[in-house]
């Protein structure tokens, strides 16, 4: 006896109008370019921070890398807010991205705390690097949230268009 597994019904990520606005705004491309750049900066910075924590070498490189990663985070957050306004009519906390935006606030707070500690000199370099790792852990969770949303959007799109037909008439 076979069992059919059904996923709970959920509303699509985008309405037809929201999808049209998403596809029409140049901010979609901006987000698509900035996200992998930020992820690359994260990867490089993570290696530099771990190197510093492991052997005390590369303090300046690690520090600069965290500042660059943080600047990219601020940039993607500002441009993402503009994108959200264009697509959903609000700068933050749009229905489909509410929890991602909430978690983004934690990511921003941790990165900002790093900058605050760096500028004021209130924390040791080692403490700052541990804070950077905490910020990076939150960033990875947040990035995963957004990747899952992108996947959901693609699945929604595939469901709404149905199977694609090849030139021979077979579906794929």
CB 152 within 8 A of CB 13: yes
Per-residue model confidence (pLDDT) at position 161: 63
Per-residue pLDDT of the chain (172 residues; tens, 9 = 90+): 444 444 555 678 888 899 999 999 999 999 999 999 999 999 999 999 999 999 999 999 999 999 999 999 999 999 999 999 999 999 999 998 899 999 999 999 999 999 999 999 999 999 999 999 999 999 999 999 988 887 877 777 666 665 544 444 444 4
Largest CA distance in the chain: 68
CA 52/CA 166 separation, integer angstroms: 54
| Domain spans in the chain, listed from the N-terminal domain onward | 21-155
Q: Up-side HSE of residue 132: CA atoms within 13 Å toward CB?
A: 32
With residues binned 3-state (H G I as helix, E B as strand, rest as coil), the percentages for the chain, rounded to 5, are 75, 0, 20
pTM of structure = 0.81
Per-residue model confidence (pLDDT) at position 166: 41
């Amino acid at each position: 006896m076979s069992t059919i597994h059904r996923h709970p019904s959920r509303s699509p990520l985008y309405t037809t109008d929201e999808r049209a606005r998403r596809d029409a705004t140049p901010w979609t491309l901006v987000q698509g370019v900035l996200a992998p750049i930020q992820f690359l900066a994260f990867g490089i910075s993570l290696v530099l921070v771990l190197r510093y924590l492991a052997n005390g070498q590369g303090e300046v490189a690690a520090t600069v890398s965290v500042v660059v990663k943080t600047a990219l985070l601020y940039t993607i957050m500002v441009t993402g807010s503009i994108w959200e306004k264009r697509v959903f009519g609000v700068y933050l906390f749009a229905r489909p991205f509410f929890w991602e935006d909430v978690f983004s606030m934690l990511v921003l707070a941790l990165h900002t705390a790093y900058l605050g500690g760096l500028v004021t000199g209130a924390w040791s370099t080692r403490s700052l690097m541990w804070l950077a790792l905490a910020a990076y852990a939150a960033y990875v969770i947040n990035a995963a949230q957004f990747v899952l949303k992108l996947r959901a959007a693609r699945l929604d799109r595939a469901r709404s268009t149905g199977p694609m037909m090849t030139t021979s008439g077979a579906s794929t």
